[in-house]
Amino acid sequence: MNQDVTGLGKVAVLMGGSSAERAVSLMSGSGVLAALRALGVDAHAFDPAERELTELKREGYARAFIALHGRHGEDGTVQGALELLGIPYTGSGVMASAIAMDKVMTKRVWLAEGLPTPAWVWLAPEHQAREDVVAVPDTLGLPLIVKPPREGSSIGITKVLGYSQMQDAVALSAQYDADVLCEAYIEGIELTCPVLGQGATAQALPVIRIDAPGGNYDFEHKYYSNDTGYRCPSGLSSADEAEVQRLTLAAYRTLGCRGWGRADLMQRASDGRLFLLEMNTSPGMTSHSLVPMSARAAGMSYEQLCLHLLRSASLDSHRN
């Protein structure tokens, strides 16, 4: 890989931000910043929660590496601001970012394209009365998952085992998002698959199998615990690995993603069927993160991955 970085100019690593995932973003951004600097890139930390984005233009930044997670980071808002400023950025554009951040909207798009995703019930604020909430398991069965549709990192999520837990689960989720997403629980293997590139040339990286203690892949197990097991190679049959990658690419392209992303999936134990859960358009880049792990299995170091993503920075308005 060509390591010449002179043409990249002054680079802002956007990190921190104001979402519930701020702490994770700071970890991701710190890793990216150190990697880019180690390669000789003129990279600087930039926290949109503490500084106006217009300063990027004033200070002569040539491109931005988005290491923000959650709202105002991967939901299309920062992307739109950078479009207006004319500063190329990593990852998906405005529309794909906005759709992927909203798990309900993502499901609607995938379903329209015939892609498999677990059944769900969407509870808008006016449908969160007790009688509406306790009726959800009648539709989806038990157990089920309750989560905020526009948060990530397993924040605000509850695995509901009985009717009596529904009210508390919805209340917790509603602390993070006015709308609440209830989703059928898929018993089986948790998988994730990263993608690099755009359109017809996008490529799926090796699949990772996640073995969390008790199947509980929560915030703690994602970012801080060493108890979670990750298998890459995944141990799936070559046919299943290929099918996960095929589905992931279809899900990525259908949403119009570019640059990079990571799909989370479940493989149901009872019949081996795959289900798409969500698409992350600004995945984690921490020491526990999955895209760097998969890239490593494909022969790409963390530093090479960061540089590859930075080189892919672009604007919606300048797409080929």
- The catalytic residues are 21, 153, 223, 262, 264, 278, 280, 284
3-state secondary structure of 123: strand
**Phi-psi domain of 197 (left: phi exceeds 0; alpha: psi -120 through 50; beta: other):** left
The span from the CA of 236 to the CA of 226, in Å, is: 23
Q: Which residues of 194-206 are buried (b: 16+ CB within 10 A; e: fewer)?
A: bbbbbeeebebbb
Sign of CA dihedral 33, 37, 41, 42: positive
The span from the CA of 63 to the CA of 83, in Å, is: 11
Work out the end-to-end distance of the chain between its first and last CA atoms, rounded to an integer number of angstroms: 23
The span from the CA of 86 to the CA of 178, in Å, is: 33
Neighbours of 45 (CB within 10 A): 15
3-state secondary structure of 191: strand
All residues at 6 or more sequence positions from 189 whose CB lies less than 8 Å from its CB, including other chains: 209, 266, 267, 269
The span from the CA of 155 to the CA of 317, in Å, is: 33
Kindly report the CA angle at 233 between 204 and 191, in degrees rounded to 5? Answer: 65
Per the CB < 8 A criterion, the answer to whether 207 and 234 are in contact is yes
Question: Which helix (H) or strand (E) is 205 found in, with range?
Answer: none
Amino acid at 255: L
The span from the CA of 157 to the CA of 260, in Å, is: 25
